[in-house]
Structure 1
Amino acid sequence: MTLSGGLSRPGERDRPIIKFMEIDWTLCLMLCLIAGAGSLMLFSVAGASWEPWAAKHLIRFGIYFVIMVGLAMVDLRVWFAVSYPIYIVGLLLLVAVELFGDAALGAQRWLVIGPLRFQPSEVMKVGVVLALARYYHGLSADSAKFSWRLIVPVLMIGMPVLLVAHQPDLGTAMLIALTGLAIVILAGLSWKVILAGVTAALVAIPPFVLFVLHDYQRKRVLTFLNPEADQSGSGYHIYQSKIALGSGGLLGKGFGLGSQSQLNFLPEKQTDFIFATLAEEFGFVGCFSVLLLYGIVIFMALRIASISHSHFGRLAAAGVTATFTLYVLINGAMVMGLAPVVGVPMPMLSYGGTVMLTVMVGFGLVQATRVHRYTEVTSGKGSLM
């Protein structure tokens, strides 16, 4: 049917103008509002200056917004065709990081190609979603519930997670693992297997923390459990964040008047702890408003996933939404002292071009799922060939 509800001529829906109008512009508006709020907070923490963060944040968002709209026009069958190649390229780039990666601040996470410096782990956040969505597109409901075929998605998730964790980048490794797990569950995994997996994970956490994590990562976990034990050392981040959160009260201290951020008590105020700055300056009302925007984005993206006629589209859109949701939950919990500090930013609010690009490419896929929701992807095969 056309936008007016009548029957369309064959091929009419493929016209670029029709595709452009099918984009969910309300979702686009919500993303713009979140990015705008991020720019205001970055302007504030820089001492009422557009430099060095706020202006770049807005410019990047503008460029990535255009990229998102362009990707929304790409047919789902094209996304399907490039799913495995994107995953394989991402995996090879992670191996290249192990061999030739650029190290900084004790971590080897970046590749440098000419003037370009980037983190291949960001490619895998989208690559894992696409590859798993394509794999499960070709499986029957019984095979997705539980069978020997589960080995394939376990390997598809496990390989990039281990490579990213070795860099080390525990936060990104957690995001990839949890996103992959979400897709496997949404694909129809048996609840008995899920409960058994959760039980095994809970049993494995103590030895994992004690014997697998790096010393600084283990210290973060112990600090999370008792941040007051070393308020001026390892617990400084969480302690200052809690002060900022609590001092904001109901309405906050006012725009640009947050003492923790303006006086540089709050570390990483432009990235990991931007939400604490928001809480200090705009209080509970400001935090609730921004979280409401996130909630609306998540709800709308899940609704788009639910109306897709193809299993691939449903899983791909849901996987992107899961990644976005995990960003919000992990950063929010981290800032409030409910989770260890793992370096996960608040999407669209925090400063950082690579993460923003990943998020906007993901929403390009979500929008493509909406624009091409009637497209039947029929050539799915549950193999890596």
Structure 2
Amino acid sequence: MSVVLERPPLWRRVLPVFYGFDLPLLLGLGLLGGIGLVTMYSAGYDHGTRFVDHGRNMLLALFILFAVAQVPPQKLMRVAVPLYTVGVALLIATALFGVTKKGATRWLNVGIVIQPSELLKLAMPLMLAWWFQKREGQLRTLDFVVAGLLLLVPVGLVVKQPDLGTAILILSGGLYVIYFAGLSWKLILPVLLAGAIAVAALVMSGDRICQDDVKWPAMRDYQKHRVCTLLDPTTDPLGKGFHIIQGMIAIGSGGPTGKGFMKGTQTHLEFIPERTTDFVFAAYAEEFGLMGTLGLIACFTFVLARGLVIAAQAPTAFTRLLGGALTMSFFTYAMVNMGMVSGILPVVGIPLPFISYGGTAMVTLGLAMGMLMSIARSRRLMQS
């Protein structure tokens, strides 16, 4: 007597791959992706193959998200230490043997040219989440000190390259983990107070300390110029202040409803520098105005809120800390980019998530959102 085994249809074999995915998070990311494609078509349709390449990068990020989402958080925890160790080793190798371009040593030739600092954007929160998971229930002050040292080593190496934008992202990702792990407000408040006093002093004494003959300790001249230009862009309207001034003009000229799709004069007359990358928000705000900007901010807020919900409901300390840090790092990307384009923060090379053009940034975002989706799936699979 023979037994005939019927092969299940394709959709039943594929369905387990998608089981447990967080649909609200996918919806939020899909909305951002759609806005990014519309914006990139307007800002970059006459900019070579930017729109096509942006769509390709987005598909790559989507593939990476789905692939990483299949990896259980337990396996992500196992790669935390090796990934961090390799990342720091590559940063040291970059400092010793790196490729220098435009005065910055950020790249390393290992057969292909790579930028090791990008690896630390994800390796840092993974490492610290692993560290605090191992010490759950027995945290001491010394554990936070060690976590701070683990954070400062790669941040210091990236600052030395110099790459302030990437250093900010690595630092913020690590600080979010340390905060969520239970760092006392008694230690946080004095730092915030000192920062507020420093900013106030900088604003009040800007005219004096921004003179050409004044040297700022531990900062390069171009970093000093960025801060001074932020304080008063009109001091160098055709040089260092040009980016900020044109960005603010574009945002302001959009008005309540914007000039309309593909009708942005600042954008298409090429007054906005880097209109498809760092300053794409200015191009978007000019064409879609205040209402469009509020809609974009609402999409970012929705993803942020959903990510924090996923982190809060995660089953282990590792997944809670990692999910919270990844979500807040996503927020940092958006906040810093919009802040620098609006003239609120200094200009640093940080893209707007899923809106700005950039292959490396899109891959990093795909990996981060894939890890967040993995955390969401792990909880749902445990409940099923």
Class of the TM-score when normalised by the shorter of the 2 chains: 0.7 to 0.9
What is the distance in 1 between the residues matched to 2:123 and 2:362?
A: 16
Kindly indicate whether the alpha-carbon contact (under 8 Å) linking 1:72 and 1:365 is maintained by their aligned counterparts in 2.
yes
Match of 2:20 in 1: 22
Query: Shift of residue 117 of structure 1?
Result: 2.9
Match of 1:382 in 2: none
Instruction: State yes or no: 1:119 paired with 2:125.
Output: no
- Change beyond 3 A, Cα 1:50–1:62: farther
Query: Shift of residue 30 of structure 1?
Result: 2.1
Query: Shift of residue 304 of structure 1?
Result: 0.8
Instruction: State yes or no: 1:107 paired with 2:104.
Output: yes
Secondary structure of the structure 1 residue equivalent to 2:216: helix
Larger radius of gyration: 2
Instruction: State yes or no: 1:56 paired with 2:53.
Output: yes
1:357 to 349, 363, 375: 363
Kindly indicate whether the alpha-carbon contact (under 8 Å) linking 1:118 and 1:354 is maintained by their aligned counterparts in 2.
no
Kindly indicate whether the alpha-carbon contact (under 8 Å) linking 1:244 and 1:280 is maintained by their aligned counterparts in 2.
yes
What is the distance in 1 between the residues matched to 2:30 and 2:47?
A: 18
State the one-letter code of the partner of 2:61: Y
Instruction: State yes or no: 1:196 paired with 2:190.
Output: yes
What is the distance in 1 between the residues matched to 2:151 and 2:81?
A: 13
Query: Shift of residue 318 of structure 1?
Result: 0.7
Secondary structure of the structure 1 residue equivalent to 2:19: helix
State the one-letter code of the partner of 1:183: V
What is the distance in 1 between the residues matched to 2:109 and 2:25?
A: 34
What number of residue pairs does the alignment pair up? Answer: 357
What is the distance in 2 between the residues matched to 1:117 and 1:224?
A: 33
Instruction: State yes or no: 1:233 paired with 2:239.
Output: yes
2:82 to 65, 82, 85: 85
Match of 2:216 in 1: 210
Kindly indicate whether the alpha-carbon contact (under 8 Å) linking 2:61 and 2:365 is maintained by their aligned counterparts in 1.
no
Kindly indicate whether the alpha-carbon contact (under 8 Å) linking 1:39 and 1:55 is maintained by their aligned counterparts in 2.
no
1:174 to 157, 160, 168: 168
State the one-letter code of the partner of 1:187: A
Match of 2:42 in 1: 44
1:191-241 deviations in Å (ceiling 9; x for gaps): 10111333455567769x921111001100011011122211211110000
Kindly indicate whether the alpha-carbon contact (under 8 Å) linking 1:16 and 1:73 is maintained by their aligned counterparts in 2.
no
Instruction: State yes or no: 1:148 paired with 2:142.
Output: yes
Instruction: State yes or no: 1:242 paired with 2:248.
Output: yes
What is the distance in 2 between the residues matched to 1:352 and 1:367?
A: 22
1:76-124 deviations in Å (ceiling 9; x for gaps): 110111111111111111112112222222211122333x333211110
What is the distance in 1 between the residues matched to 2:271 and 2:29?
A: 30
What is the distance in 1 between the residues matched to 2:302 and 2:123?
A: 25
- Change beyond 3 A, Cα 1:151–1:248: same
Kindly indicate whether the alpha-carbon contact (under 8 Å) linking 2:117 and 2:158 is maintained by their aligned counterparts in 1.
yes
Give the TM-score taking structure 1 as reference length: 0.88
What is the distance in 1 between the residues matched to 2:72 and 2:254?
A: 46
- Change beyond 3 A, Cα 1:120–1:239: same
Match of 1:161 in 2: 155
Kindly indicate whether the alpha-carbon contact (under 8 Å) linking 1:141 and 1:188 is maintained by their aligned counterparts in 2.
no
1:315-348 deviations in Å (ceiling 9; x for gaps): 1111111111000110111111111101111111
The runs of 5 or more residues in structure 2 that have no matched partner are 1-12, 203-208, 210-214
What is the distance in 1 between the residues matched to 2:184 and 2:257?
A: 46
1:14-69 deviations in Å (ceiling 9; x for gaps): x98445220113322322221222222222123x4484211111111112211111
1:150-192 deviations in Å (ceiling 9; x for gaps): 2211111101100111111111111111221111111101110
Kindly indicate whether the alpha-carbon contact (under 8 Å) linking 2:136 and 2:317 is maintained by their aligned counterparts in 1.
no
Match of 2:289 in 1: 283
Kindly indicate whether the alpha-carbon contact (under 8 Å) linking 2:144 and 2:183 is maintained by their aligned counterparts in 1.
no
Kindly indicate whether the alpha-carbon contact (under 8 Å) linking 2:60 and 2:363 is maintained by their aligned counterparts in 1.
no
Provide the aligned C-alpha RMSD in A: 2.1
Match of 2:94 in 1: 97
State the one-letter code of the partner of 1:118: I
- Change beyond 3 A, Cα 1:351–1:307: same
Match of 1:255 in 2: 261
Secondary structure of the structure 2 residue equivalent to 1:109: strand
After TM superposition, the structure 1 = structure 2 runs for residues 274-353 of structure 1, keeping only pairs within 5 Å, are 274-353=280-359
Kindly indicate whether the alpha-carbon contact (under 8 Å) linking 1:334 and 1:341 is maintained by their aligned counterparts in 2.
yes
Match of 2:134 in 1: 138
What is the distance in 2 between the residues matched to 1:140 and 1:126?
A: 21
Could you tell me the percent identity over the aligned residues?
38
1:237-256 deviations in Å (ceiling 9; x for gaps): 10000100000001111111
What is the distance in 1 between the residues matched to 2:89 and 2:79?
A: 15
What is the distance in 2 between the residues matched to 1:77 and 1:33?
A: 30
What is the distance in 1 between the residues matched to 2:191 and 2:28?
A: 36
Kindly indicate whether the alpha-carbon contact (under 8 Å) linking 1:251 and 1:285 is maintained by their aligned counterparts in 2.
yes
What is the distance in 1 between the residues matched to 2:20 and 2:303?
A: 17
Match of 2:279 in 1: 273
Kindly indicate whether the alpha-carbon contact (under 8 Å) linking 1:35 and 1:58 is maintained by their aligned counterparts in 2.
no
What is the distance in 1 between the residues matched to 2:360 and 2:222?
A: 24
State the one-letter code of the partner of 1:364: G
What is the distance in 2 between the residues matched to 1:22 and 1:68?
A: 14
